[in-house]
Amino acid sequence: MSELSVDKIEKELVKAVQDAADHMGIALTASGGCAPGSAGVGSQVLITIMCRVEAILDITIPDNCYIFHDRTSLRQLTIREASEKLHKVINKK
């Protein structure tokens, strides 16, 4: 498999977050600068989104990697930051 770009990951995360927000009736416009965890999308839903993106992109996200949160700063990450984090994790191999 060729290396997956941050932009491709971001595109899929934006679509998945927007679909989930629409389905749950959350007024949210998903974009790279949006932090879905701070905008009312719960962590259980974000985990489901991670699984969905994992299947769409045909990748494996390690069980101990929650891409929407930064453990050091204890803040919710934007979709762009989550994409960059995921890109780093899947390309460590």
pLDDT digits (tens, 9 = 90+) for 12-53: 999 999 999 999 999 999 999 999 999 989 999 999 999 999
pLDDT for 67 equals 96
Q: Is residue 68 part of a domain?
A: yes
pLDDT of amino acid 12: 97
- Is 71 part of a structural domain of the chain? yes
Q: Between residues 40 and 81, which one has the greater pLDDT?
A: 81
pLDDT at 84 over 70: yes
How far is it, in rounded angstroms, from Cα 93 to Cα 48? 24
pLDDT at 3: 77
End-to-end Cα separation, the chain, in angstroms: 12
State residue 51's pLDDT score.
96
Q: What is the pTM of this model?
A: 0.91
Residue 17 included in any domain: yes
Average pLDDT over all residues of the chain: 93
Distance (Å, rounded) from C-alpha 57 to C-alpha 35?
21
In a domain, 1, yes or no: no
Domain of 33, in residue numbers: 6-90
Looking at residue 14, which CATH number applies to its domain? 1.10.1200
Report how far residue 7's alpha carbon sits from residue 73's, in angstroms, rounded to the nearest whole number. Answer: 24
Assess whether pLDDT exceeds 50 at residue 1: no
* Domain count along the chain: 1
Distance from C-alpha of 57 to C-alpha of 34, rounded to nearest angstrom:
21
Residue 33 neighbours by CB under 8 Å, 6+ apart: 78, 79, 80
Residue 37 lies in a domain: yes
Q: Is residue 58 part of a domain?
A: yes
> Is residue 48 assigned to a domain?
yes
Residue 18 counted as domain residue: yes
